[in-house]
Amino acid sequence: MVQAKTPTTKLDAELARRLLSQMVLIRRFEEKAAEMYALGKIGGFLHLYIGEEAVAVGATSVLRPDDYVISAYRAHGHCLAKGADPRRVMAELFGRRDGLSKGKGGSMHLFDKSRNFLGGHAIVGAHLPLAAGAAFAVKYQGGDQVVLCYFGDGAVPQGEFHESKNLAAHWKLPVIYVCENNRYAMGTAIHRALAQTEIWRYAETYGLAGEAVDGMDVLAVREVVGRAVERCRREQAPSLIEARTYRFRGHSMRDPSAAIYRTKEEVEREKQRDPIGLFRERCLKDGRLTEVEIKTIEKEINDLVDEAVAFADASPEPPLEWLTADVYRE
């Protein structure tokens, strides 16, 4: 893999604090969501992002607020990193009226237009052409925003992956495809789905810039996506980035973390490379943050997430008239 070189980005204390806070926020939010699922406050499918936080946080940290992000159904982290209000995200998971999508979308369909977050999409592969379309619109309108599209390794065998790569490269669309390769699509290990398992290599075939990055290293992700953003803004050259990561939990809350398809030992081994743990250590070692500062961050985030739960719980159910509203725009 193209390992992260020594990050060129200067790591000042402010940046370190921001990156760590966001990763801790996502982690804590997800842990809380799992608790709420167990209590029956959240229903349906719930896919947690625990273990993969460095990808969303590293990638979003090099975006501007007016850049676009689009994702699949494991999208809480992407949405929070893009700046969505955790209270409204939690309310959406609760299916309440103050949720981002008025409680109509749920965990898999978070949308936040105010943050240019183009949504969570639950059909594997479907949002990849949408990302190309958003980039097409940016270019059409003469803008300089980029579109960042997260997707899983499971989407790579899907036709829409290949179609959108070709369109993006052929028409030079300002889009960055970030594959979160966590090595499994549900119970299917990547080598059981792909003859070419080095996903970034598809870039060359289609004519995009391609790079692989250690997705457990938030600074490495930041560096690699930073380069892609540069390319996009400067020459409207799209990229395909493969971020190598791992999900610590099951595919969804219905799937135990180490089922038939992977061993407990493997999961435990990967947890040794916890992206938050790694970054924490690094900040302490470099003297960017002190133990006390980190504790303060964790405390603040805990409170924030508790507040999100309280907010969601207090939010009323959507009124019944909303069932048939928003089908057509009048």
Indicate whether 186 belongs to the interface with ligand TPP (CB under 6 A). yes
For the segment 203-222, give every residue that binds another protein (CB under 8 A): none
- Closest among 292, 252, 261, 268 to 72, alpha carbons compared: 252
For the segment 155-184, give every residue that binds Mg ion (CB under 5 A): 182
Question: Mask 85-104, x = binds another protein (CB under 8 A)?
Answer: -------x--xx----x-xx
Indicate whether 314 belongs to the interface with another protein (CB under 8 A). no
Using the rule CB under 8 A, give the single segment among 139-147, 148-156, 215-223, 227-235 that binds another protein: 148-156
Indicate whether 76 belongs to the interface with ligand TPP (CB under 6 A). no
Question: Mask 100-129, x = binds another protein (CB under 8 A)?
Answer: -x-xxxxxxx-----------xxxxx----
Indicate whether 184 belongs to the interface with ligand TPP (CB under 6 A). yes
Size of the residue set binding Mg ion (CB under 5 A):
5
Please enumerate in sequence order all residues whose Cβ is within 8 A of that of 194, keeping only pairs 6 or more positions apart, or say none: 153, 156, 157
- 112 secondary structure, DSSP code: B
Tokens 């799209």 appear where? 238
Indicate whether 259 belongs to the interface with ligand TPP (CB under 6 A). no
Question: Mask 87-126, x = binds ligand TPP (CB under 6 A)?
Answer: -----------------------------------xxx--
Indicate whether 7 belongs to the interface with another protein (CB under 8 A). no
Indicate whether 152 belongs to the interface with Mg ion (CB under 5 A). yes
Using the rule CB under 5 A, give the single segment among 19-27, 82-90, 154-162, 291-299 that binds Mg ion: 154-162
At residue 316's C-alpha, the angle toward residues 313 and 317, to 5°, is: 105
Which of 157, 273, 278, 293 is the binder for another protein (CB under 8 A)? 157
Q: Please name the residue ranges forming H helices in the chain.
A: 13-38, 53-60, 76-81, 86-94, 127-140, 159-170, 202-206, 218-235, 264-271, 275-286, 291-314
Contact of residue 74 among ligand TPP, Mg ion, another protein, none (CB under 5-8 Å per partner type): ligand TPP
- CA 36, CA 24: separation in Å to the nearest integer? 18
Please enumerate in sequence order all residues whose Cβ is within 8 A of that of 325, keeping only pairs 6 or more positions apart, or say none: none
CB 178 within 8 A of CB 153: no
Helix, strand, or coil (residue 99):
coil
**Dihedral through CA 211, CA 214, CA 217, CA 219, nearest 10?**
-20
- CA 34, CA 85: separation in Å to the nearest integer? 19
Indicate whether 166 belongs to the interface with another protein (CB under 8 A). no
| Shortest Å distance, C-beta 207 to another protein | 22
Which of 4, 33, 54, 155 is the binder for ligand TPP (CB under 6 A)? 155
Side-chain half-sphere exposure of 26, counting CA atoms within 13 A: 30
Using CB under 8 A as the criterion, which residues of the chain lie in contact with another protein when the complex forms? 43-45, 92, 95-96, 101, 103-109, 121-125, 154-159, 185-188, 192-194, 259-261, 317-318, 320, 322-324, 327
